[in-house]
Chain A
Amino acid sequence: MRVALCDDHAVVRSGLRRILDAEDGLEVVGEAGSVKEAVALAGTCLPDVFVMDLGLPDGSGIDATAAVVRISPATRVLVLTGHDDIAYLRRAFEAGAAGYLIKDAADIELVQAVRLVASGKQYVHPALGAALLAPDAPPARLGGPGGELSDRELEVLRMMALGLTNAEISQQLYVSVRTVETHRSHIHQKLNVRNRAELVRRAKDAGLLDGDDPGP
């Protein structure tokens, strides 16, 4: 199995190379230190697996990943990075990466991850995998255990989703702030949400705000 490396730190590259070379059936066929070098290397070597850092001097490893996959579609890119944000992970997979590994675990999990992606599977670092599966999307239907929302409650819900404060809602509806608070607490109970952010997500999932949201 032919592996290429891209990392702008030579010490890290040599450490990775020695670990991978020590494994049976693995061979490091080239090293790159920048986006440009990585793309060139992919074009000439057509490696089976490309181990890719994200922070590179001339750009992002995410761009490099997209370019590598375009030039050499058979190459599986394994991102190896210090970033543990889900946002980077999503981007990397959108760009065509097959695996995402955090450097804390490089020494233990690298070989396993390289073998996994080479075999056609995807690899995500366990800690990030758990975050990906975090239940942030409750069932997309309005009307929870507490029953259906009234017309007035729907009106208040829409105003809350537009970011209006209790005082502003009370002015628009000609009711007291206290009444708005009561509506809010009923909405929370009926939809089983605890605050505005949860409410907005819930309302968006239910398509209730489609007319208000121009994108993305």
Chain B
Amino acid sequence: MIADVIHSVHCAPCRGRDACVLRIRGYYYTVSVPAPTTTQDFEGGAAGWPLKVQTLLDAVLVLAGEHELDTVLRRIVAGAATIAEAKYAALGIYDEAGAIESFIHFGMDDDTVASIGSLPGGRGLLGEVIVASGPIRLAELGTDPRAGGFPPNHPPMRTFLGVPVGRGARRYGNLYVTEKADGEPFVDEDEALVVAFAAFAVGAIESAHLVQAERARADAVADLAAATERAALRREMLGQILNAQEAERARVSRDLHDDVGQALTSVLLGLRLLESSLAGDEVAVGDARRRTDDVRTLVTDALGRTRQLAFDLRPTVLDDVGLLPALERLSQDMTARSDTTVAVAAQGFATDRLPPEIETVVYRVVQEALTNIARHASAATASITLIVAQGRVRVLVEDDGVGFVASATPRRGHLGLTGMAERADLVGGTVELSSTPGSGTTLLLELPLA
């Protein structure tokens, strides 16, 4: 909005011409106009303004109310045509390399545009205005040595005025008007008005850019907020799922232990009773004993497997006794079942128990790490060390196996590192895996205890 219009101020850069200084949204714009040396130079407009200045101000006002870049550019072109009384007008916006990024035109109907085909590429005169320091004004476009010629179906254009659009070293593009309505060449007055209008156009373009950037920034902020919210939701859901999974595993594990285990125990006891009740024919009794021995072997085996299954699901010792006994049992199992000897040590534990959610994360991460070692490391020994110090628990799982190249990311994904990191993250912790080929692998898990 135009807050102040200060006119008839002598303007030094315009060297003797009068200028209108307009303040729009805190910015001052100097509109230089040819000095009215004689009264007949201008036809008087309303309120004594020269009619053409009135047209300029109208175009400026229309421009000032707009923030959409596309609309701003179209209004600049239309405004320039009106101000200069030209049949055609165009605005070439250039990218930083000087190529035409967009070309907005006025005065040609769609059929003509379509029949010409491609838009100008910035060669010839259009390009000359880019490098020229000031306006270019021609009475006969075709005869200028810089003209590159028109493509087929292009309407004839003779009179030409090209004005750079920019501020200081920053050039946005050029504003062109052609074919003055009365067939006469463009005059000083036209040039001065279009130059002034181009100055406003810069402000409008910059303002639209700012609005665009602000909108993009607001969108980015909103996107980020939405992403953060999604991540928090995902984290919460993951936590709930993992908790539910652990609870379910604990329940199934206990059921296996108590119900299936007890049932099998009953069978064993039944066998014993059956044996004690056997009497009579020596051969028949011997045969029955062999059969009960076979059944006993089967049941004992089933009991052992049930117990192992229960342990693999979620060891009851983890809930009943604590993390260290559970890890000791895990390492004994691995030592017995694989070629890797596993040792466990703890340091700094003031109490037997850590918070249950911490114990679960440590147990699951160590379990995963040991599985990796058994599968990939070919290690002779592995070591689990738990250290409680300075309000956090630090767990190192190390092996002396073949190791791997730390940058081999597909391998890292393969090692279930993401799952481990997600579990750790749920309790505010981190997981790091480091290795060098030939000197084993170290997994470092750190969790805060507060």
Contact = CB atoms under 8 A, between A and B. Distances in A.
B387 A163 contact: yes
Contact of B316 (A22, A83, A86, A214): A83
Interface centre among A12, A18, A104 (most CB of B within 10 A): A104
Nearest to A62: B320
B391 to A, nearest CB: 12
A107 B315 CA distance: 25
Given A82-B261, A82-B307, A200-B385, A88 B345 contact: no
A9 B347 CA distance: 41
B13 interface: no
A24 interface: no
A195 B350 contact: no
Contact of B321 (A11, A88, A131, A197): A88
B367 interface: no
Contacts of A27: none
Interface in B307-347: 307, 315-317, 320-322, 325-326, 328-329, 332, 341, 343-347
Contacts of A19: 269, 272-273, 276
Given A195-B381, A204-B347, A162 B268 contact: no
Interface in A109-138: 131, 136
B385 A104 contact: no
A24 to B, nearest CB: 12
A212 interface: yes
Given A194-B380, A195-B381, A209 B347 contact: yes
A36 interface: no
Given A83-B316, A86-B325, A212 B385 contact: no
A210 to B, nearest CB: 11
Contact of B257 (A55, A104, A107, A181): A55
A209 to B, nearest CB: 6
A70 interface: no
Given A15-B270, A85-B329, A216 B380 contact: no
A9 B272 contact: no
Interface stretch (B142-150, B235-243, B244-252, B392-400): B392-400
Given A55-B254, A216-B352, A195 B383 contact: yes
Nearest to B350: A215
Contact of A104 (B300, B315, B349, B398): B300
B360 interface: no
B434 interface: yes
Interface residues of A, number: 49
Interface string A159-181: 00111011100000000000001
Nearest to A214: B350
A25 to B, nearest CB: 16
B396 A181 contact: no
A22 B277 CA distance: 10
Given A60-B320, A131-B332, A194-B380, A11 B272 contact: no
Interface residues of B, number: 58
Contacts of A12: 262, 265-266, 269
A36 B323 CA distance: 28
A196 B344 CA distance: 9
Contacts of B320: 60, 88
Given A12-B262, A87-B325, A103 B345 contact: no
Contacts of B307: 82, 84
Nearest to A22: B276
Interface string A12-51: 1001101100100000000000000000000000000000
B387 A195 contact: no
A198 B389 contact: no
A215 B349 contact: yes
A190 interface: no
B347 A200 contact: yes
Contacts of B381: 194-195, 198
A213 interface: yes
B392 to A, nearest CB: 10
B347 A212 contact: yes
A2 interface: no
Which among A8, A107, A212 has the greatest number of chain B C-beta atoms within 10 A? A107
B271 interface: yes
A15 B273 contact: yes
Contact of A91 (B276, B316, B321, B442): B321
A186 interface: no
Given A181-B439, A215-B351, A196 B329 contact: no
Contacts of B349: 215-216
A12 to B, nearest CB: 5
24 contacts: A8-B258, A9-B266, A15-B266, A55-B258, A55-B316, A82-B303, A82-B307, A83-B317, A87-B317, A87-B321, A88-B320, A103-B268, A106-B268, A161-B387, A163-B385, A165-B434, A165-B442, A195-B383, A196-B398, A198-B343, A201-B345, A213-B347, A215-B349, A216-B351
Interface of A: 7-9, 11-12, 15-16, 18-19, 22, 55, 60, 82-88, 91, 103-104, 106-108, 131, 136, 161-163, 165-167, 181, 194-201, 204, 209, 212-216
Given A12-B269, A87-B321, 14 more contacts: A9-B262, A15-B266, A55-B316, A85-B329, A107-B272, A161-B387, A163-B387, A195-B381, A196-B383, A197-B344, A197-B345, A198-B383, A201-B343, A215-B351
Interface of B: 254, 257-258, 261-263, 265-266, 268-273, 276, 296, 300, 303-304, 307, 315-317, 320-322, 325-326, 328-329, 332, 341, 343-352, 380-385, 387, 389, 394, 396, 398, 400, 434, 439, 442, 444
Sorted nearest first, the 5 A-B pairs with minimum C-beta distance are A15-B269, A87-B325, A195-B383, A163-B387, A200-B345
